[in-house]
Structure 1
Protein backbone atom coordinates (compact mmCIF):
# COMPACT_ATOMS: atom_id res chain seq x y z
CA UNK A 1 0.00 0.00 0.00
CA UNK A 2 2.85 2.30 0.94
CA UNK A 3 4.62 1.55 -2.38
CA UNK A 4 1.47 2.47 -4.34
CA UNK A 5 1.18 5.76 -2.44
CA UNK A 6 4.85 6.48 -3.03
CA UNK A 7 4.50 5.79 -6.76
CA UNK A 8 1.47 8.09 -6.97
CA UNK A 9 3.39 10.81 -5.14
CA UNK A 10 6.29 10.52 -7.58
CA UNK A 11 3.93 10.75 -10.57
CA UNK A 12 2.20 13.82 -9.18
CA UNK A 13 5.54 15.44 -8.42
CA UNK A 14 6.77 15.09 -11.99
CA UNK A 15 6.43 18.27 -14.06
CA UNK A 16 3.82 18.24 -16.81
CA UNK A 17 5.32 17.76 -20.24
CA UNK A 18 5.46 20.85 -22.42
CA UNK A 19 3.81 20.89 -25.82
CA UNK A 20 5.82 19.00 -28.41
CA UNK A 21 7.16 20.55 -31.63
CA UNK A 22 4.67 18.39 -33.53
CA UNK A 23 1.77 19.77 -31.49
CA UNK A 24 2.95 23.35 -31.97
CA UNK A 25 3.25 22.78 -35.71
CA UNK A 26 -0.25 21.28 -35.87
CA UNK A 27 -1.72 24.21 -33.92
CA UNK A 28 -0.01 26.74 -36.17
CA UNK A 29 -1.38 24.92 -39.21
CA UNK A 30 -4.89 25.14 -37.75
CA UNK A 31 -4.38 28.84 -37.01
CA UNK A 32 -3.40 29.41 -40.64
CA UNK A 33 -6.86 28.02 -41.51
CA UNK A 34 -8.66 30.22 -38.98
CA UNK A 35 -11.02 31.51 -41.63
CA UNK A 36 -12.72 28.12 -41.22
CA UNK A 37 -14.93 27.92 -38.10
CA UNK A 38 -14.26 24.20 -37.77
CA UNK A 39 -10.50 24.80 -37.63
CA UNK A 40 -10.98 27.49 -34.97
CA UNK A 41 -13.11 25.13 -32.88
CA UNK A 42 -10.55 22.33 -33.15
CA UNK A 43 -7.69 24.66 -32.26
CA UNK A 44 -9.58 26.18 -29.35
CA UNK A 45 -10.31 22.75 -27.87
CA UNK A 46 -6.69 21.64 -28.26
CA UNK A 47 -5.31 24.79 -26.65
CA UNK A 48 -7.76 24.68 -23.74
CA UNK A 49 -6.77 21.07 -23.08
CA UNK A 50 -3.09 22.00 -23.24
CA UNK A 51 -3.60 24.98 -20.91
CA UNK A 52 -5.28 22.74 -18.35
CA UNK A 53 -2.35 20.33 -18.48
CA UNK A 54 0.49 22.89 -18.62
CA UNK A 55 -0.82 26.29 -17.46
CA UNK A 56 2.64 27.89 -17.52
CA UNK A 57 3.79 26.67 -20.93
CA UNK A 58 4.73 29.84 -22.79
CA UNK A 59 4.21 28.32 -26.21
CA UNK A 60 0.65 27.34 -25.30
CA UNK A 61 -0.17 30.61 -23.55
CA UNK A 62 0.75 32.95 -26.38
CA UNK A 63 -0.96 30.78 -28.96
CA UNK A 64 -4.13 30.80 -26.87
CA UNK A 65 -3.85 34.60 -26.63
CA UNK A 66 -3.37 34.83 -30.39
CA UNK A 67 -6.54 32.85 -31.04
CA UNK A 68 -8.60 34.95 -28.62
CA UNK A 69 -7.25 38.09 -30.28
CA UNK A 70 -8.35 36.83 -33.68
CA UNK A 71 -11.83 36.22 -32.30
CA UNK A 72 -11.99 39.60 -30.54
CA UNK A 73 -10.77 41.39 -33.66
CA UNK A 74 -13.49 39.83 -35.78
CA UNK A 75 -16.59 40.55 -33.70
CA UNK A 76 -18.71 43.68 -33.76
CA UNK A 77 -20.56 42.65 -30.61
CA UNK A 78 -19.23 44.89 -27.82
CA UNK A 79 -20.05 42.40 -25.07
CA UNK A 80 -18.21 39.59 -26.87
CA UNK A 81 -15.28 41.87 -27.73
CA UNK A 82 -14.97 42.96 -24.11
CA UNK A 83 -14.86 39.34 -22.90
CA UNK A 84 -12.52 38.13 -25.64
CA UNK A 85 -10.28 41.17 -25.24
CA UNK A 86 -10.00 40.55 -21.50
CA UNK A 87 -9.15 36.88 -22.11
CA UNK A 88 -6.48 37.90 -24.63
CA UNK A 89 -5.05 40.38 -22.17
CA UNK A 90 -4.96 37.86 -19.32
CA UNK A 91 -3.40 35.10 -21.43
CA UNK A 92 -0.83 37.55 -22.79
CA UNK A 93 0.05 38.69 -19.29
CA UNK A 94 0.47 35.10 -18.16
CA UNK A 95 2.81 34.54 -21.09
CA UNK A 96 4.84 37.70 -20.48
CA UNK A 97 5.26 36.70 -16.85
CA UNK A 98 6.83 33.42 -17.97
CA UNK A 99 9.06 34.98 -20.65
CA UNK A 100 9.11 38.81 -20.56
CA UNK A 101 11.96 38.87 -23.09
CA UNK A 102 9.76 37.28 -25.79
CA UNK A 103 7.64 39.45 -28.07
CA UNK A 104 4.47 37.35 -28.31
CA UNK A 105 3.24 37.73 -24.74
CA UNK A 106 3.91 41.47 -24.68
CA UNK A 107 2.23 41.97 -28.06
CA UNK A 108 -0.94 39.99 -27.45
CA UNK A 109 -1.36 41.38 -23.94
CA UNK A 110 -1.33 44.87 -25.49
CA UNK A 111 -3.79 43.88 -28.21
CA UNK A 112 -6.06 42.38 -25.57
CA UNK A 113 -6.12 45.68 -23.69
CA UNK A 114 -6.80 47.42 -26.99
CA UNK A 115 -9.74 45.17 -27.81
CA UNK A 116 -11.15 45.55 -24.31
CA UNK A 117 -10.76 49.33 -24.57
CA UNK A 118 -12.59 49.45 -27.90
CA UNK A 119 -15.45 47.48 -26.38
CA UNK A 120 -15.91 49.67 -23.29
CA UNK A 121 -15.09 52.88 -25.15
CA UNK A 122 -11.74 54.66 -25.40
CA UNK A 123 -12.71 57.46 -23.01
CA UNK A 124 -13.84 54.91 -20.42
CA UNK A 125 -10.62 52.94 -20.91
CA UNK A 126 -8.56 56.09 -20.38
CA UNK A 127 -10.52 56.70 -17.18
CA UNK A 128 -9.68 53.16 -16.04
CA UNK A 129 -5.98 53.90 -16.46
CA UNK A 130 -5.49 51.44 -19.32
CA UNK A 131 -3.41 53.76 -21.51
CA UNK A 132 -0.28 53.20 -19.43
CA UNK A 133 -0.80 49.44 -19.26
CA UNK A 134 -1.33 49.26 -23.02
CA UNK A 135 1.79 51.28 -23.81
CA UNK A 136 3.92 49.40 -21.30
CA UNK A 137 3.26 46.12 -23.08
CA UNK A 138 3.24 47.50 -26.62
CA UNK A 139 6.44 49.49 -26.16
CA UNK A 140 8.12 46.33 -24.84
CA UNK A 141 6.98 44.47 -27.97
CA UNK A 142 8.23 47.29 -30.19
CA UNK A 143 11.62 47.17 -28.50
CA UNK A 144 11.90 43.37 -28.85
CA UNK A 145 10.66 42.99 -32.44
CA UNK A 146 8.71 45.79 -34.18
CA UNK A 147 8.29 43.62 -37.29
CA UNK A 148 6.65 40.71 -35.51
CA UNK A 149 3.51 39.61 -37.41
CA UNK A 150 4.54 41.75 -40.40
CA UNK A 151 4.88 44.91 -38.36
CA UNK A 152 2.04 44.15 -35.96
CA UNK A 153 3.45 46.22 -33.06
CA UNK A 154 3.88 49.20 -35.41
CA UNK A 155 0.27 48.89 -36.58
CA UNK A 156 -0.95 48.73 -32.99
CA UNK A 157 0.98 51.88 -32.11
CA UNK A 158 -0.33 53.67 -35.17
CA UNK A 159 -3.87 52.67 -34.30
CA UNK A 160 -3.33 53.97 -30.78
CA UNK A 161 -2.63 57.47 -32.10
CA UNK A 162 -5.60 57.18 -34.48
CA UNK A 163 -8.18 56.14 -31.89
CA UNK A 164 -7.20 58.53 -29.11
CA UNK A 165 -9.63 61.42 -28.58
CA UNK A 166 -8.60 65.03 -29.10
CA UNK A 167 -6.18 66.47 -28.06
CA UNK A 168 -4.19 63.24 -27.75
CA UNK A 169 -5.02 62.10 -31.28
CA UNK A 170 -2.13 62.47 -33.75
CA UNK A 171 -2.93 61.40 -37.32
CA UNK A 172 0.50 62.27 -38.73
CA UNK A 173 2.20 60.11 -36.13
CA UNK A 174 -0.36 57.36 -36.72
CA UNK A 175 0.41 57.30 -40.45
CA UNK A 176 4.15 57.22 -39.83
CA UNK A 177 3.91 53.91 -37.97
CA UNK A 178 1.94 52.30 -40.81
CA UNK A 179 4.43 53.56 -43.35
CA UNK A 180 7.29 51.95 -41.41
CA UNK A 181 5.49 48.61 -41.50
CA UNK A 182 4.66 48.99 -45.21
CA UNK A 183 8.29 49.78 -46.06
CA UNK A 184 9.27 46.33 -44.79
CA UNK A 185 6.05 44.43 -45.53
CA UNK A 186 4.19 46.00 -48.47
CA UNK A 187 2.01 42.89 -48.65
CA UNK A 188 0.46 43.71 -45.26
CA UNK A 189 -3.10 44.71 -46.22
CA UNK A 190 -4.08 45.78 -42.71
CA UNK A 191 -1.34 48.41 -42.77
CA UNK A 192 -2.73 49.85 -46.02
CA UNK A 193 -6.27 49.80 -44.63
CA UNK A 194 -5.28 51.62 -41.45
CA UNK A 195 -3.26 54.09 -43.48
CA UNK A 196 -6.26 54.77 -45.74
CA UNK A 197 -8.50 55.42 -42.73
CA UNK A 198 -5.95 57.75 -41.16
CA UNK A 199 -5.38 59.69 -44.38
CA UNK A 200 -9.12 60.06 -44.87
CA UNK A 201 -9.53 61.39 -41.33
CA UNK A 202 -6.68 63.81 -42.04
CA UNK A 203 -8.37 65.20 -45.16
CA UNK A 204 -6.04 63.45 -47.62
CA UNK A 205 -8.74 61.79 -49.71
CA UNK A 206 -6.65 61.18 -52.85
CA UNK A 207 -3.84 59.53 -50.93
CA UNK A 208 -6.41 57.56 -48.95
CA UNK A 209 -7.89 56.31 -52.23
CA UNK A 210 -4.46 55.15 -53.42
CA UNK A 211 -3.95 53.31 -50.13
CA UNK A 212 -7.34 51.59 -50.16
CA UNK A 213 -6.73 50.30 -53.70
CA UNK A 214 -3.67 48.52 -52.33
CA UNK A 215 -6.09 46.61 -50.13
CA UNK A 216 -8.88 45.88 -52.58
CA UNK A 217 -6.49 44.94 -55.39
CA UNK A 218 -3.88 43.27 -53.22
CA UNK A 219 -3.10 39.58 -52.85
CA UNK A 220 -4.21 37.69 -49.74
CA UNK A 221 -1.64 34.98 -50.37
CA UNK A 222 0.58 36.06 -47.46
CA UNK A 223 -2.20 35.10 -45.00
CA UNK A 224 -5.55 34.21 -46.61
CA UNK A 225 -7.72 34.46 -43.47
CA UNK A 226 -6.24 37.82 -42.49
CA UNK A 227 -6.26 39.21 -46.02
CA UNK A 228 -9.87 38.23 -46.66
CA UNK A 229 -10.99 39.77 -43.38
CA UNK A 230 -9.23 43.04 -44.16
CA UNK A 231 -10.59 43.17 -47.70
CA UNK A 232 -14.08 42.73 -46.26
CA UNK A 233 -13.55 45.72 -43.98
CA UNK A 234 -12.09 47.75 -46.84
CA UNK A 235 -15.41 47.96 -48.70
CA UNK A 236 -16.91 50.37 -46.18
CA UNK A 237 -13.75 52.49 -46.07
CA UNK A 238 -13.53 52.62 -49.86
CA UNK A 239 -17.14 53.79 -50.08
CA UNK A 240 -16.46 56.55 -47.54
CA UNK A 241 -13.37 57.69 -49.48
CA UNK A 242 -15.19 57.71 -52.80
CA UNK A 243 -18.02 59.75 -51.27
CA UNK A 244 -15.50 62.36 -50.15
CA UNK A 245 -13.94 62.45 -53.61
CA UNK A 246 -17.22 63.31 -55.35
Structure 2
Protein backbone atom coordinates (compact mmCIF):
# COMPACT_ATOMS: atom_id res chain seq x y z
CA UNK A 1 0.00 0.00 0.00
CA UNK A 2 2.92 2.35 0.75
CA UNK A 3 3.80 2.55 -2.93
CA UNK A 4 0.22 3.54 -3.78
CA UNK A 5 0.28 6.44 -1.35
CA UNK A 6 3.54 7.70 -2.85
CA UNK A 7 2.05 7.55 -6.35
CA UNK A 8 -0.97 9.51 -5.15
CA UNK A 9 1.30 12.19 -3.68
CA UNK A 10 3.44 12.25 -6.81
CA UNK A 11 0.35 13.07 -8.90
CA UNK A 12 -0.85 15.64 -6.34
CA UNK A 13 2.60 17.28 -6.31
CA UNK A 14 2.53 17.64 -10.10
CA UNK A 15 -0.97 19.12 -9.98
CA UNK A 16 0.22 21.61 -7.35
CA UNK A 17 2.70 23.01 -9.90
CA UNK A 18 -0.25 24.46 -11.83
CA UNK A 19 -1.35 26.62 -8.90
CA UNK A 20 -0.14 30.21 -8.69
CA UNK A 21 -0.35 32.89 -6.03
CA UNK A 22 -3.75 34.48 -5.53
CA UNK A 23 -5.79 31.79 -7.27
CA UNK A 24 -9.16 30.45 -6.16
CA UNK A 25 -8.90 26.66 -6.39
CA UNK A 26 -11.55 23.96 -6.08
CA UNK A 27 -10.39 20.44 -5.20
CA UNK A 28 -12.30 17.22 -5.82
CA UNK A 29 -12.28 14.35 -3.33
CA UNK A 30 -9.55 11.69 -3.37
CA UNK A 31 -6.11 12.47 -4.80
CA UNK A 32 -6.92 16.18 -5.45
CA UNK A 33 -7.43 16.67 -1.70
CA UNK A 34 -3.69 15.95 -1.23
CA UNK A 35 -2.67 18.94 -3.39
CA UNK A 36 -2.47 21.54 -0.56
CA UNK A 37 0.27 19.46 1.12
CA UNK A 38 2.52 20.18 -1.87
CA UNK A 39 2.20 23.97 -2.11
CA UNK A 40 5.12 26.13 -1.00
CA UNK A 41 4.70 28.48 1.96
CA UNK A 42 4.89 31.41 -0.46
CA UNK A 43 1.92 30.27 -2.55
CA UNK A 44 -1.13 31.92 -1.04
CA UNK A 45 -4.37 30.61 -2.52
CA UNK A 46 -8.01 30.37 -1.47
CA UNK A 47 -9.41 26.85 -1.55
CA UNK A 48 -13.09 26.88 -2.46
CA UNK A 49 -15.69 24.22 -1.65
CA UNK A 50 -19.20 23.94 -3.11
CA UNK A 51 -20.78 23.72 0.33
CA UNK A 52 -19.79 27.32 1.00
CA UNK A 53 -16.21 27.83 2.15
CA UNK A 54 -13.63 30.01 0.42
CA UNK A 55 -10.30 29.82 2.22
CA UNK A 56 -10.11 26.25 3.52
CA UNK A 57 -7.05 25.48 5.61
CA UNK A 58 -5.38 22.15 6.34
CA UNK A 59 -7.10 19.23 8.08
CA UNK A 60 -7.46 19.87 11.81
CA UNK A 61 -5.44 17.86 14.32
CA UNK A 62 -7.31 15.09 16.11
CA UNK A 63 -9.54 16.51 18.81
CA UNK A 64 -9.48 20.01 17.26
CA UNK A 65 -12.22 19.35 14.67
CA UNK A 66 -15.15 21.73 14.44
CA UNK A 67 -18.27 19.68 13.71
CA UNK A 68 -19.76 22.59 11.75
CA UNK A 69 -16.74 23.02 9.48
CA UNK A 70 -16.31 20.48 6.69
CA UNK A 71 -15.50 20.33 3.00
CA UNK A 72 -17.81 19.18 0.19
CA UNK A 73 -16.85 15.56 0.91
CA UNK A 74 -17.94 15.92 4.54
CA UNK A 75 -14.42 15.80 6.02
CA UNK A 76 -13.39 18.25 8.77
CA UNK A 77 -11.32 21.24 7.64
CA UNK A 78 -10.01 24.51 9.07
CA UNK A 79 -10.42 28.08 7.84
CA UNK A 80 -7.45 30.25 6.84
CA UNK A 81 -6.97 33.89 7.76
CA UNK A 82 -9.26 35.87 5.44
CA UNK A 83 -11.46 32.86 4.67
CA UNK A 84 -15.24 33.20 4.51
CA UNK A 85 -18.47 31.23 4.65
CA UNK A 86 -21.44 31.50 2.30
CA UNK A 87 -24.44 29.34 1.56
CA UNK A 88 -24.03 26.83 -1.25
CA UNK A 89 -26.07 29.00 -3.67
CA UNK A 90 -23.39 31.72 -3.44
CA UNK A 91 -20.64 29.08 -3.67
CA UNK A 92 -22.18 27.81 -6.91
CA UNK A 93 -22.69 31.40 -8.07
CA UNK A 94 -18.93 31.89 -7.76
CA UNK A 95 -18.34 28.84 -9.94
CA UNK A 96 -20.93 29.81 -12.56
CA UNK A 97 -19.57 33.34 -12.84
CA UNK A 98 -16.12 31.94 -13.61
CA UNK A 99 -14.53 33.05 -10.32
CA UNK A 100 -12.76 29.71 -9.79
CA UNK A 101 -9.33 29.69 -11.46
CA UNK A 102 -8.58 25.97 -11.31
CA UNK A 103 -10.50 22.85 -10.48
CA UNK A 104 -8.62 19.60 -9.85
CA UNK A 105 -10.85 16.54 -10.24
CA UNK A 106 -10.67 12.79 -10.35
CA UNK A 107 -12.26 10.98 -13.27
CA UNK A 108 -13.47 7.59 -14.47
CA UNK A 109 -12.66 8.36 -18.13
CA UNK A 110 -11.36 11.25 -20.23
CA UNK A 111 -11.66 11.26 -24.01
CA UNK A 112 -8.99 12.46 -26.41
CA UNK A 113 -10.90 15.70 -27.03
CA UNK A 114 -11.23 16.47 -23.31
CA UNK A 115 -14.68 15.07 -22.51
CA UNK A 116 -15.03 14.31 -18.79
CA UNK A 117 -16.91 11.29 -17.38
CA UNK A 118 -16.48 11.32 -13.63
CA UNK A 119 -19.81 11.00 -11.93
CA UNK A 120 -21.47 7.61 -12.43
CA UNK A 121 -20.84 3.99 -13.31
CA UNK A 122 -24.27 2.79 -14.53
CA UNK A 123 -25.89 0.47 -12.00
CA UNK A 124 -23.80 1.70 -9.06
CA UNK A 125 -25.24 3.90 -6.33
CA UNK A 126 -23.93 7.46 -6.37
CA UNK A 127 -24.65 10.49 -4.21
CA UNK A 128 -25.19 12.60 -7.35
CA UNK A 129 -23.19 14.68 -9.77
CA UNK A 130 -22.35 17.36 -7.22
CA UNK A 131 -20.55 20.46 -8.44
CA UNK A 132 -18.47 18.68 -11.08
CA UNK A 133 -20.75 19.69 -13.96
CA UNK A 134 -20.50 23.41 -13.16
CA UNK A 135 -16.83 23.27 -12.30
CA UNK A 136 -15.97 21.44 -15.51
CA UNK A 137 -17.83 24.05 -17.56
CA UNK A 138 -16.85 27.23 -15.76
CA UNK A 139 -13.48 26.88 -14.03
CA UNK A 140 -10.77 28.68 -16.02
CA UNK A 141 -8.61 25.52 -16.01
CA UNK A 142 -9.74 21.92 -15.50
CA UNK A 143 -7.11 19.41 -14.36
CA UNK A 144 -7.88 15.70 -14.10
CA UNK A 145 -5.77 13.59 -11.74
CA UNK A 146 -6.48 9.87 -12.12
CA UNK A 147 -4.95 6.43 -12.50
CA UNK A 148 -3.92 5.64 -16.05
CA UNK A 149 -6.02 2.46 -16.09
CA UNK A 150 -9.01 1.24 -14.07
CA UNK A 151 -8.72 -1.67 -11.66
CA UNK A 152 -9.43 -4.13 -14.47
CA UNK A 153 -6.50 -2.72 -16.45
CA UNK A 154 -8.65 -0.88 -19.01
CA UNK A 155 -7.37 2.51 -20.22
CA UNK A 156 -9.14 5.51 -18.70
CA UNK A 157 -7.90 7.76 -21.52
CA UNK A 158 -10.10 6.75 -24.46
CA UNK A 159 -11.08 7.88 -27.98
CA UNK A 160 -14.66 8.49 -26.76
CA UNK A 161 -16.10 8.01 -23.27
CA UNK A 162 -18.38 5.01 -22.85
CA UNK A 163 -19.59 6.27 -19.46
CA UNK A 164 -22.13 9.11 -19.09
CA UNK A 165 -20.46 12.50 -19.52
CA UNK A 166 -20.17 15.09 -16.80
CA UNK A 167 -19.22 17.72 -19.39
CA UNK A 168 -17.83 17.73 -22.91
CA UNK A 169 -14.58 19.30 -24.16
CA UNK A 170 -13.68 20.77 -20.79
CA UNK A 171 -10.44 19.10 -19.64
CA UNK A 172 -7.19 21.07 -20.10
CA UNK A 173 -4.63 18.79 -18.45
CA UNK A 174 -4.52 15.08 -17.52
CA UNK A 175 -2.10 13.83 -14.86
CA UNK A 176 -1.75 10.08 -14.25
CA UNK A 177 0.88 8.04 -12.43
CA UNK A 178 2.56 7.49 -15.82
CA UNK A 179 2.35 10.72 -17.75
CA UNK A 180 1.01 14.23 -18.24
CA UNK A 181 -1.09 15.16 -21.28
CA UNK A 182 -2.28 18.54 -22.49
CA UNK A 183 -5.60 18.56 -24.33
CA UNK A 184 -5.07 20.64 -27.49
CA UNK A 185 -7.04 21.50 -30.62
CA UNK A 186 -5.11 18.70 -32.34
CA UNK A 187 -5.88 16.09 -29.69
CA UNK A 188 -3.80 14.90 -26.76
CA UNK A 189 -0.19 16.01 -26.39
CA UNK A 190 2.12 13.98 -24.15
CA UNK A 191 4.38 16.50 -22.39
CA UNK A 192 5.82 14.62 -19.41
CA UNK A 193 6.70 11.10 -18.27
CA UNK A 194 6.99 9.94 -14.67
CA UNK A 195 9.85 7.61 -13.77
CA UNK A 196 10.10 4.65 -14.22
CA UNK A 197 7.67 4.61 -17.19
CA UNK A 198 8.76 4.72 -20.80
CA UNK A 199 6.99 6.09 -23.85
CA UNK A 200 6.24 2.49 -24.89
CA UNK A 201 4.52 1.82 -21.54
CA UNK A 202 2.29 4.84 -22.04
CA UNK A 203 1.41 3.95 -25.65
CA UNK A 204 0.41 0.43 -24.52
CA UNK A 205 -1.79 1.65 -21.66
CA UNK A 206 -3.48 4.60 -23.41
CA UNK A 207 -6.71 3.88 -25.26
CA UNK A 208 -6.45 6.77 -27.71
CA UNK A 209 -3.89 8.20 -30.09
CA UNK A 210 -1.77 11.10 -28.86
CA UNK A 211 0.94 13.43 -30.12
CA UNK A 212 4.32 13.67 -28.43
CA UNK A 213 5.97 16.89 -27.32
CA UNK A 214 9.41 17.56 -28.84
CA UNK A 215 10.91 17.91 -25.38
CA UNK A 216 9.29 15.41 -23.05
CA UNK A 217 10.01 16.29 -19.42
CA UNK A 218 11.10 13.29 -17.32
CA UNK A 219 9.87 13.54 -13.74
CA UNK A 220 12.03 11.50 -11.33
CA UNK A 221 10.66 9.62 -8.32
What's the TM-score once normalised by structure 2's chain length? 0.32
* Larger relative strand fraction: 2
Query: Whose relative contact order is higher, 1 or 2, with alpha carbons under 8 Å and at least 6 apart?
Result: 2
What's the TM-score once normalised by structure 1's chain length? 0.30
Q: Who wins on radius of gyration, i.e. which is larger? A: 1
